[in-house]
Structure 1
Amino acid sequence: MTTEAFLGTHPLTLHRFPLDQKNRSLQAWDAADEYLIEYTFANYETPKHALIFNDSFGGLAAALIAQHPTIKVTTVSDSFVSHQACQYNLAENTLSKTHLTLQNSLAPLPLDCDLILMKVPKNAGFLQHQLAQLSHLPANIPVILAGKVKEIHSSTLKSVAHFLSAPTTSLAVKKSRLIFTHTTCKPVDDKFPTDWPLEKTDFTISNHANVFSRDSLDIGARFFANYLPQGKKPIKVIDLGCGNGVIGLLTLAKMPNAKLIFVDESAMAVASAKQNIQHNLPEQIDNCEFHQNDCLTNFTPGSVDLVLCNPPFHQAQAITDHIAWQMFIQAKHTLKQGGELRIIGNRHLDYQDKLHRLFGNCKIIGNNKKFTVLSATKRG
């Protein structure tokens, strides 16, 4: 795997997270990062406080701190893993974290920044949320957005113009492009979180901007809902990769004595799940925990009875199964003897073979043309 990055004038060693993923050919930075840093260094010699959005693995923060050791950097991300990677990569390059602030995507933005750098997120609604946040900052702060040419559309520029000043764009370099704008101190309301009624229930589901399937119940969750546990046993259940928490919510409605633990690496997902329990089953909130985490890292071994999961098969723009594998392995570690991992996945992903190799058993408990629901039991 290539770890030597050339972001600006200082060579950096950058690692993609999680560190133990199988596909080590994936880099922790891209051409848009390079373009953004080169332009920034050429045009902004002495920024005092840089505000960075969506720095996937800390490469932008590392480059800025390497170039300007005393610069104050606030990096905003919805991802727990991204913040972990940023701290690791700064340490790997012996760069100081003294003036670094890591904050999630729901925290208020600092008012004293004098430069804003943003990687354009894949999620258009999430971009609008972040631009709405920027619209509340003081006027005339330079904002530079970077992304792949194929990801920057006329709708992207329209969103920027709605919340900030009229944007201009750079020439394309290595299939990447920059967008230039600045804050105007003309606050625009954020339309998130959004709400919609959950079909066949009295529940209302609330969703922050970066939550998967935030506008309606996704077809995988709809199918999985037919195969959730029910009963009066006081078991401990994890909704792993919980998103807006709809699977855990439906489970809790069917198992009122259960303890539900909602886990996701997205701050917005965890906040949405908590809000949905508070609004729909407020009497059950004391039976719930909510954790932003890298899958089940550092969870107590042998501590839960059931893990429910709809694993992702991508990380940002990369198609990969390493997150699913991590979820399966850590679920087995966290389950009690006799505990169960129950998942839903696209049929073509062949999770049945993976689970059988890991657990020594796996059975199909439901399927249709697109999805398979699988169950694996932890045995002695």
Structure 2
Amino acid sequence: MNSSVFDALRRWPDVEAPELFAVDAADRLLLDEAASALAAPGADVAVIGDDFGALTLGAVVRHDLPRVRVHQDPLCGELALAANAATVGVAPERFASHAAPEAALVAEATVVLVKLPRSLEALDATARLVARYARPDVLVFAGGRVKHMTRAMNDVLGRSFEEVRASLGRQKARVLTASRPRQGVEPAAVREVRQEDVGLRVCAVGGAFAGASTDIGTRVLLDHLDAVLDSIPSPGTVVDLGCGTGLLAAAAARSVPGARVIATDQSADAVASAALTASANGCSDRITVTRDDAGARIPSGSVDLVLLNPPFHVGGAVHTAIASKMFRAASRMLAPGGALVTVWNSHLRYRQELERVVGPTRQIARTPKFTLTVSTRR
């Protein structure tokens, strides 16, 4: 794939900024390391974790593949792939997007390209899936930036494959190649933990943020949730925006029994986890779990309360753009007088932005690391 095509790729609808890129050195190295396997007659190709379409479109264009199967955990990646394919002239029938990491994604695949996730649990789930359902002669090429790679990734791949080798580094990227799937590999297990201090069970699959533990920012919000609810009108509709494993949604369903609760996240692993968390806590009938881009399908002005623990990373980079996007999304979906409850890293100083984007904002609590605020929609 020539550089001019790479240059045409965008991150949209994910956040875009001059310092954020749609293609990185790991994408380029992956396609180069896998070139012979991709060019083999009858190559059956699956792609897992493609950020914005560079791997899928690169494989299709460079090797004239008739069809590639692809799973991208974030919905923004899936939407970016479709938009980028239209930009570079790749017909939609040349790739098939799978919303979930399922057997059909890798069944009978001879080549699997993987963009290495940060989570070892996500990598383990991917390795197990491929080892169980791809062809016995499958080659797995898993690449990432060296600064985000650890020796433990080799070990994780080694649980599902008999041979794992590393490429030479190039432009601070490296590729691990796995082959010879082990026999009898079991699927990745659901992780479930009872959080005794809040009296709720948390379930996690794959690379869901924080796994089956409680993120420390979420814990601050949970510790003050009842006090916050006592200070605002009883909500009819509550949204856990960027829900992760759905712990806040389950807590809201318990604390406000009459409310309709929506747990939404763009991550496929997150929404699968949140649905399991709702079931484990006996509130599936009152929590609707959706995979969406910052709650884009929730009607404007239809929500009374939004709970938000925004991420402060975009991929591997510390960046505030994703939080800003979620503040705007919360403001749009809130009815006038509705409340946005946000927990955020204190050093990021979001209060002025919350005042501007949502409305009057008051501090509820502050710890050495986090600030908890309530913003009232104008």
Band of TM-score, shorter chain:
over 0.9
**Cα shift readout 1:124-171 (whole Å, capped 9, x = no counterpart):** 111011111111023111111111223332211111111112111211
> Superposition pairs for residues 75-224 of structure 1, below 5 Å?
75-108=70-103, 109-137=105-133, 138-184=135-181, 186-224=183-221
Distance between the aligned counterparts of 2:244 and 2:313, measured in 1?
15
Distance between the aligned counterparts of 1:149 and 1:220, measured in 2?
28
Query: Which structure 1 residue ranges, 5 or more long, are not aligned?
Result: none
- Secondary structure at the aligned position of 1:167 is classed as strand
Which piece of structure 1 moves more, 314-323 or 86-95? Answer: 314-323
- Secondary structure at the aligned position of 1:166 is classed as strand
Shift of 1:208: 0.9
Distance between the aligned counterparts of 2:370 and 2:25, measured in 1?
36
**Cα shift readout 1:23-64 (whole Å, capped 9, x = no counterpart):** 233110111111111232355424532111110000111111
- Secondary structure at the aligned position of 2:163 is classed as coil
Q: Which residue of structure 2 lines up, in the alignment, with residue 374 of structure 1? A: 373
Q: 1:306·1:339 contact (CA, 8 Å) conserved in 2?
A: yes
Q: 1:65·1:96 contact (CA, 8 Å) conserved in 2?
A: no
Q: What RMSD in Å do the two structures reach over aligned CA positions?
A: 2.0
Distance between the aligned counterparts of 1:115 and 1:34, measured in 2?
16
Query: In percent, how many aligned pairs have the same letter?
Result: 27
Q: Which residue of structure 2 lines up, in the alignment, with residue 66 of structure 1? A: 61
Distance between the aligned counterparts of 1:350 and 1:104, measured in 2?
36
Q: Which residue of structure 1 lines up, in the alignment, with residue 287 of structure 2? A: 288
Distance between the aligned counterparts of 1:121 and 1:180, measured in 2?
15
Distance 1:371 1:165, change over 3 A: same
Distance between the aligned counterparts of 1:124 and 1:61, measured in 2?
23
- Secondary structure at the aligned position of 2:294 is classed as coil
Q: Does residue 1:314 correspond to 2:308, yes or no? A: no
Q: Partner amino acid for 1:117?
A: L
Q: 1:264·1:270 contact (CA, 8 Å) conserved in 2?
A: yes
The normalised TM-score by structure 1 is: 0.92
Q: Partner amino acid for 2:102?
A: A
Query: Which structure 2 residue ranges, 5 or more long, are not aligned?
Result: none
Q: Partner amino acid for 1:100?
A: F
Q: Which residue of structure 2 lines up, in the alignment, with residue 227 of structure 1? A: 224
The normalised TM-score by structure 2 is: 0.92
Distance 1:115 1:170, change over 3 A: same
Q: Which residue of structure 2 lines up, in the alignment, with residue 36 of structure 1? A: 30
Shift of 1:193: 1.2
Q: Which residue of structure 1 lines up, in the alignment, with residue 278 of structure 2? A: 277
- Secondary structure at the aligned position of 2:218 is classed as helix
Q: 1:143·1:183 contact (CA, 8 Å) conserved in 2?
A: no
Q: 1:132·1:187 contact (CA, 8 Å) conserved in 2?
A: no
Greater helix fraction, Structure 1 or Structure 2: 2
